[in-house]
Amino acid sequence: MSIVVTGATGRLGRLVIDSLLAQGVPAAGIAAVVRDKEKGADLAADGVELRIADYDHPETLAGAFEAGDRVLLISGSEVGRRVPQHAAVIDAAKAAGVAQLAYTGVLGGPDADFQLAAEHKATEQLIIDSGLPYTFLRNGWYTENYTDHLAPVLEHGAVVANAGEGRVASATRADYAAAAAAVLTGEGHLGRAYELSGDTAWSLAEYAAEVAGQSGRAVTYNDVPAEAHLAVLTGAGVPEPFAAILVDVDVAIGRGLLARTSGDLSRLIGRPTTPLADTVARALADR
């Protein structure tokens, strides 16, 4: 039996493997499903088993899983293609007889009615229909979704969004990765759906103030109409279909859908989630 992480060379996948190793899981007991062997070379050098497979090529997934494996299906990054990709993984996991299939979905699960949630909800239903023992990790927003894009904020002195006064209970990728590692190594998680979010919800005005305070620069929150935000994003080179999804997420934030603070995440990881101020400080230091 191995703990298998799909999408293992992605940002979340690598952090999950780091968390597993930090928890004392031997590298030989971890398998990383990757598309590119070269990108996983550092994992292999650490003793992690590489299993080469591609979500888009179901035939390659036949050897990705073994009976009794505990598997983390990290959702694909290509919005609009994820349901067939995930279905291929689910089918392969079922054929192999895995002991657990954990899936990184979206905060709110069936109640999330924004565009980005649609493929996650469809995937959860496919997993339920498969009969596989499952754990749903319904991840909220990553703080890095904001702090990774500090350059234009500092350049223009503004956080631009159409989220109104909505609040975001975000956490870091490392927080979510630690939760995934906990459910893959622990007991009592089968058949459970965890609503994962940060301990404290914050507004974009508060985020702008935090960036301003730490950077010493004037930064304000500009709440703009959805159409204007769409124009800003597409003008910055974001493809229009994805820009429209981001604008729709802001509408969801304005309706409070990403402000939930269930406490599931901090309970799973055994510590408070990473504060916004800490992530802003790290991002500024890394610039």
In a domain, 12, yes or no: yes
Provide the β-strand partners of residue 193.
136
Structural domain includes residue 157:
no
**What does the pLDDT read at residue 242?**
93
Domain-embedded: residue 207: no
> Beta strand pairing status for 3-6 and 30-34?
parallel
CATH code of 188's domain? 3.40.50.720
Alpha-carbon gap, residue 72 to 179, rounded angstroms: 11
Q: Is 250 helix (H, G, I), strand (E, B) or coil?
A: helix
Q: Is position 113 within any domain?
A: yes
CB atoms within 10 A of CB 126: 17
pLDDT of residue 173: 98
pLDDT above 90 for 77: no
Q: Is the pLDDT of residue 157 over 90?
A: yes
Q: Residue 47 pLDDT more than 90?
A: yes
Classify residue 217: in a domain, yes or no. Answer: no
CA–CA separation, 86 vs 128, rounded Å? 13
Per-residue pLDDT tens over the stretch 237-277? 999 999 999 999 999 999 999 999 999 999 999 999 999 99
Q: What angle do CA 84, 87, 91 make, to 5 degrees?
A: 145
Task: Supply the pLDDT for residue 287.
Answer: 84
- Which H/E stretch holds residue 264? helix 264-269
Residue 79: the pLDDT is 85
pLDDT, residue 185, reads 97
Instruction: Give the whole-angstrom CA distance, residue 143 versus residue 145.
Output: 5
- Banded pLDDT at 121 (limits 50, 70, 90): very high
In a domain, 208, yes or no: no
The tally of domains found in the chain comes to: 1
Name residue, tokens 């929150």: 221
What pLDDT, on the 0 to 100 scale, is given for residue 90? 98
**Domain assignment of residue 23, given as a range:** 3-139+173-195+261-269
Question: Above pLDDT 70, what percent of the chain?
Answer: 100
Question: Closest by alpha carbon to 161, among 122, 203, 194?
Answer: 203
DSSP 3-state of 249: helix
With tokens 């952090």, the residue in question is 15
Strand boundaries in the chain, DSSP class E:
3-6, 30-34, 49-52, 70-73, 100-106, 134-139, 158-161, 167-168, 192-196, 202-203, 220-223
In a domain, 133, yes or no: yes
Encode pLDDT of 96-119 as tens digits. Answer: 999 999 999 999 999 999 999 999
Instruction: Report d(CA 11, CA 212) in Å as an integer.
Output: 27
pLDDT-based confidence at residue 76 (cuts at 50, 70, 90):
confident
Residue 283 has pLDDT above 90, yes or no: yes
Q: What is the mean pLDDT of the chain?
A: 96
**215: pLDDT strictly greater than 90:** yes
User: How is residue 203 written in tokens?
Assistant: 């507004």
Say how far apart CA 62 and CA 65 lie, in whole Å: 7
Q: 221: helix, coil or strand? A: strand
